[in-house]
Amino acid sequence: MKPLLSKTTKPFIIYVLIVLTISIPVYYFVVDFIWQEELDEHNTIVAEKTSYEFNRSDISQEEIQQNIALWNKIQPGTNIERINSDQIKPDTIFTEEKFKPFSADKKIERYRCLKKVIYIKNVPYLFTIETNIEETEDTVMIIGLVTGFFFIMIVIGLFILNRRLSKTIWGPFRDTLGKLKKFNLNTNNQISFYKTDTIEFEELNESLRKLIDHSVYVFKGQKEFTENASHELQTPLAIIKNKLDILLQSKDLTDEHYVIIEEINIALSRSSRINKNLLLLAKIENSQFDIIEMDINELINHSLGNLEEHIHQKSIVFSSEMDENVRSQGNISLTEILINNLLINAIRHTSQGGMMNVELASGYFTVSNSGTESLNPELIFTRFKRFSNDNSGSGLGLAIIKEICRFQNWEISYDFKNNLHIFSVKF
């Protein structure tokens, strides 16, 4: 996960980099084109000015020829040659690559050339001039360095500017986020958001106020319902069970009546357990439990002590590997229920004379028991989902374990290896 600031800054920097990178060859071609245009204009001016100066001079044809010969000898890159009338052609502009004359450096360079017909004393001459075009590599290098310098300046400026703007503009948002992280429905504390002049943040805060007020209202209603249901349902169930117990003691009962009453009593006991478990799930979902640090080893040993008789009754081969002083954050009551449910589930579904193992180490707790085939991992923690014909349970044991792990930020997983059902809890 990345902060919002980096998600907005990074694409912008990449975009600037792409644009500036593309701009380097564009700069080069544009500058090169303008450069050639300027050289063509320069060459044309030189040719026209040469013709003008010769024409305004009061010299004979013989002196003109001498001056032209001298010009061709001492003036590099130009040549004036007399031509006939039938040799007159339109002006020609072109680029030529050749070795640099009058230099030991044999590097090929570009020259911008012009062939133009000029008239000196009404006599046509072919004026040829070539001007060196400077090294393009130097131009590209300079443009690249300048572009790179400005790119670095833009990146540094954006980074500093975004950091400063982030502290001021995003301050109210971070304040709101921090208060939301600390908010707990159980405490019923009112959240006072930071007043801001940013419309979007103010609308967000107002929406959150309404959402939190509604959530608190719904939470209180669910909590009251849970408490009322716990009291109102348990009382009539207890009365019915008590009346059934009294009826069972009656001497006038026939065997048929006794069987019917016993079946009602079993169904009533199961209904009472389901009611308690559903209420427990509701309380967990409503976060009605506190979190403290606890000793996991002590809780497991206590549960094993209570269930030791059941293990012996089924002649289960029991083994354990538990480290001492293994501690974690959680709720003691919920963790006791989690441990008891895992152990009872393992005992109930282990055949007579089967195997069972409990392992505790830093960061995880594992309960495994012998079995014949794997269970469906996708359905195993579903409420009222059964994988055997044993109806003595409520069908909510593993669902409660899953919900307790979610509440305490733990992880529960199931695996089947070497004919063993393995339930692992990571904390």
pLDDT tens column, 111-163: 889 999 999 988 999 999 988 876 555 666 777 788 778 878 887 887 788 77
**Residue where a domain stops, chosen among 256, 285, 314:** 285
What are the two backbone dihedrals, phi and then psi, of residue 328, each rounded to the nearest 5 degrees?
-160, 165
The verdict on residue 352 lying in a domain is yes
Judged on CB neighbours under 10 Å (0-12, 13-18, 19+), 401 is buried
Say what angle helices 199-248 and 255-285 make with each other, to 10 degrees.
160
In a domain, 185, yes or no: no
Residues 6+ apart with CB under 8 A from 90: none
Domain harbouring 357, CATH code: 3.30.565.10
Which CATH number characterizes residue 222's domain? 1.20.58
Same domain, 297 and 416: yes
Q: What is the pLDDT of residues 304-345, one digit of tens each?
A: 888 888 888 889 999 989 888 888 888 888 888 889 889 988
Answer with the one of 143, 161, 187 that is the final residue of a domain.
143
Asked if 196 contacts 205 with a C-beta cutoff of 8 angstroms, the reply is: yes
Residues 29-46, mean pLDDT to the nearest whole number = 85
Q: Which of 251-265, 322-336, 406-420 has the lowest mean pLDDT?
A: 251-265
Whether 46 and 129 map to the same domain: the answer is yes
In this structure, the number of other CB atoms found within 10 A of the CB of residue 238 comes to 12
Shared-domain flag, residues 349 and 402 = yes
Q: Kindly report the CA angle at 326 between 324 and 331, in degrees rounded to 5?
A: 135
Same domain, 356 and 399: yes
In CATH, what number is assigned to the domain containing residue 134? 3.30.450
44 in any annotated domain: yes
Q: Which domain holds residue 354?
A: 292-426
Q: What is the total count of domains within the chain? A: 3
**Cα(88)–Cα(287) distance, integer angstroms:** 101
pLDDT in tens, 354-380: 999 999 998 888 999 998 888 877 777
Alpha carbon separation from 352 to 310, 314, 341, 356, 387 (Å, rounded): 11, 5, 19, 11, 18
DSSP assignment, residue 87?
G
Reference 29, options 109, 114, 140, 108; nearest CA is 140
Within this chain, do residues 340 and 278 fall inside the same structural domain, yes or no?
A: no
- Asked if residue 179 has pLDDT above 60, the reply is yes
Query: For the chain, what is the mean pLDDT?
Result: 81
Same domain, 254 and 318: no
